[in-house]
Amino acid sequence: MLFTHAHADHIFGFDDIRRYNTIQKCVIPAYADSATLQDLRRIFDYITTEAIPGFYRPQIDFRTFDGAFNVGNVRIVPLQVEHGPKPTFGFCFECEGKRLGYVPDCKHIPDATMSLLKGVDVMIIDALRHRQHLTHMTVEESVSALQEIGAAQSYLVHLCHDLDHATLESTLPDRIHVSYDGLEIILAP
């Protein structure tokens, strides 16, 4: 698991990971920056790497990232973005010559991060609504960022109830789409 930041809408389903411990019969690694990890340990202080008889708790191996790292043959590059007072990250996933950018919560993508995202095969980005918001990109801001990134395919996420899926989809430029439940993205080598 990868954590972008510790806001409630991104972490409060975390306790449900315990079912995956049971299915996989293993401790699951969870990666975050040090500030987010500190929040996760405080909020979920009962999480452990050990199975405790009689308790059904997530078994998580918390791991701090402070730069690029690998999980199997996937290289993961944390990307700092602006979303509020605490650090927030997106990620660039690289595997077998393909790259996918993932920035689910942000108001602004700094130049250094933008340069790392340019030319990704697929880009997934925050687009809350049309009206301005203090900590999220508008649809227009997201489309502008996506046009600069130049991905072959892009998907808008973190949409609020102000947006109608079909209406928004019909107004977007080519190669930019609205995400939906059950969407699968295949990056063929």
Q: What pLDDT does residue 129 have? A: 94
Q: In angstroms, how far is CA 156 from the centroid of its own chain?
A: 12
Among 153, 10, 1, 128, CA closest to 71? 1
DSSP at 28:
E
- How confident is residue 163, by pLDDT bands cut at 50, 70 and 90? very high
Q: What pLDDT does residue 46 have? A: 84
- How confident is residue 144, by pLDDT bands cut at 50, 70 and 90? very high
- How confident is residue 142, by pLDDT bands cut at 50, 70 and 90? very high
Out of 45, 65, 85, a domain closes at 65
pLDDT digits 0-9 by tens, 4-55: 888 888 888 888 888 888 898 889 999 999 999 999 999 988 887 877 777 7
pTM (whole model) above 0.85: yes
pLDDT digits 0-9 by tens, 59-85: 889 999 999 999 999 999 999 999 988
H/E stretch holding 144 = helix 139-149
- 129 and 140 in a common domain: yes
- 74 and 61 in a common domain: no
What whole-number distance in Å separates Cα of residue 114 and Cα of residue 70? 21
DSSP at 178:
E
Helix (H, G, I), strand (E, B) or coil at 3: coil
> First CA to last CA across the chain, in angstroms?
24
Out of 65, 99, 120, a domain closes at 65
DSSP at 173:
P
For the chain, what is the domain count? 2
